[in-house]
Amino acid sequence: MIAQQRPRRLRLSAQIRRLTRETTLSPADLIAPLFVRYGHGVRNPIRSMPGQFQLSIDQLPAEARTIASLGIPAVILFGIPEHKDACGTENARPDGIIPQAIDAIKAAVPDLLVISDMCFCEYTDHGHCGIINREGDPHYQAHLPEGYLLNDPTLALLAEASVIHARAGADLIAPSGMIDGMVGAIRQALDADGLQHTAIMSYAVKYASAFYGPFREAAESPPAFGDRAQYQMDPSNRREALKEAALDVAQGADLLMVKPAMPYLDVISELRRAHPHPIAAYQVSGEYAMIHAAAANGWIDLQRAALESLIGIKRAGADMILTYFARDAAHWLA
């Protein structure tokens, strides 16, 4: 007679559950996003993202030390410029907000990894992720549709700004605009400048998502017209995610990202199977805001729900998670 299977034997105590656990979460898996702006002594709370702030440069050393002391290996930076224009020129200024932020962080904690989110939406006056075909603007091409994102002129700007951020000390460049050819253009520019050691974390699979809402308040980057559907992916598509990832791998991406995370766990798991590259998942602002909002209403437990969301993302196949819960989670896990 076959002995009866009783899976509950392996759930009897905390220790046996720990022994048989298939997926683990550690502070080493987490990347903390930071929003940086001009000013002094600035710590602006972001209304829709409890516990998150826009910080001025002088706040970064203490922030970096706290993050590093929790065992979190990396931060990703989003800059809010002094001045926005049609081409987002401040993104490529050697004394711009991001190079200054990198300086401050590296001076305080040299081995904390700094990732630069490489996009133009915070820097352009129209809030799109690159140069837009607008009558009167520098790159206007009459034969192309009004409002069209001009792909290749944007590549040149991305390449230029990436070199500036890498020279300032960014360890990884993370292009997030879903511009065709962005990884190749950045790789080429970095190599030509002797920056062959700077890695590229590509937002390879980024969907046109409703879950970015709170971020656009935090980064002051909502599009002034239209939406991002002409460059970000349609949420209905999974095979296209494999295509996007393969293109970025061919262009030299070192790490691949899927974004958002929770609504796209199947995509994370497909990429995990298809590529040996490290896979990052971005638990975005709306995912964070939802969990906080429900917890604030007393409908779910904040800590348990946050940690469950993170372990689910890892179980799907992510090696690392960009999350606004990074500090809290590291603290809870300690």
Query: Which of the residues are catalytic?
Result: 206, 259
CB neighbour list of residue 172: distance below 8 Å, 6 or more residues apart: 74, 113, 114, 115, 116, 198, 199, 200, 201, 254, 255
What's the rounded Cα separation, in Å, for the pair 165 and 167? 5
Return the residues of window 40-99 that contact ligand PBG according to CB under 6 A: none
Which string of DSSP letters, residue by residue, matches 100-138?
HHHHHHHHH-TTSEEEEEE-STTTBTT--SS-B--TTST
Q: How far is the CB of 282 from ligand PBG (least distance, A)?
A: 6
Candidates 38-46, 114-122, 244-252, 296-304; binding stretch for ligand PBG (CB under 6 A): 114-122
Would you count residue 285 as binding ligand PBG (CB under 6 A)?
A: yes
Are 255 and 202 a contacting pair, CB within 8 Å? yes
Q: How far is the CB of 128 from ligand PBG (least distance, A)?
A: 9
Are 72 and 109 a contacting pair, CB within 8 Å? no
Would you count residue 212 as binding ligand PBG (CB under 6 A)?
A: yes
Tokens 């922030």, residue located: 63
Burial class (CB in 10 A: 0-12, 13-18, 19+), 137: middle
The count of residues interacting with ligand PBG (CB under 6 A) is: 12
Candidates 104-112, 212-220, 292-300, 304-312; binding stretch for ligand PBG (CB under 6 A): 212-220
3-state secondary structure of 282: strand
Token pair, residue 16, equals 């046996």
Would you count residue 215 as binding ligand PBG (CB under 6 A)?
A: yes
Would you count residue 284 as binding ligand PBG (CB under 6 A)?
A: yes
224: nearest Cα among 45, 86, 83: 86
Would you count residue 256 as binding ligand PBG (CB under 6 A)?
A: no
CA atoms within 13 A on the CB side of 144: 13
Bridge partners, 272 (sequence order): none
Q: How far is the CB of 6 from ligand PBG (least distance, A)?
A: 43
Candidates 19-27, 54-62, 115-123, 262-270; binding stretch for ligand PBG (CB under 6 A): 115-123
76: nearest Cα among 205, 194, 197, 215: 215
Bridge partners, 323 (sequence order): 283
Q: Which is nearer to ligand PBG, 189 or 284 (CB)?
A: 284
Q: Which is nearer to ligand PBG, 127 or 184 (CB)?
A: 127
Would you count residue 119 as binding ligand PBG (CB under 6 A)?
A: yes
Q: Which is nearer to ligand PBG, 109 or 170 (CB)?
A: 170
The residue from 63, 90, 117, 270 that contacts ligand PBG (CB under 6 A) is: 117
Token pair, residue 34, equals 């930071």
Would you count residue 231 as binding ligand PBG (CB under 6 A)?
A: no
Would you count residue 310 as binding ligand PBG (CB under 6 A)?
A: no
Binding pattern to ligand PBG, positions 157-196, x when CB under 6 A?
Answer: -------------------xx-------------------
Residues that bind ligand PBG (CB under 6 A): 117, 119, 121, 129, 176-177, 212, 215-216, 228, 284-285
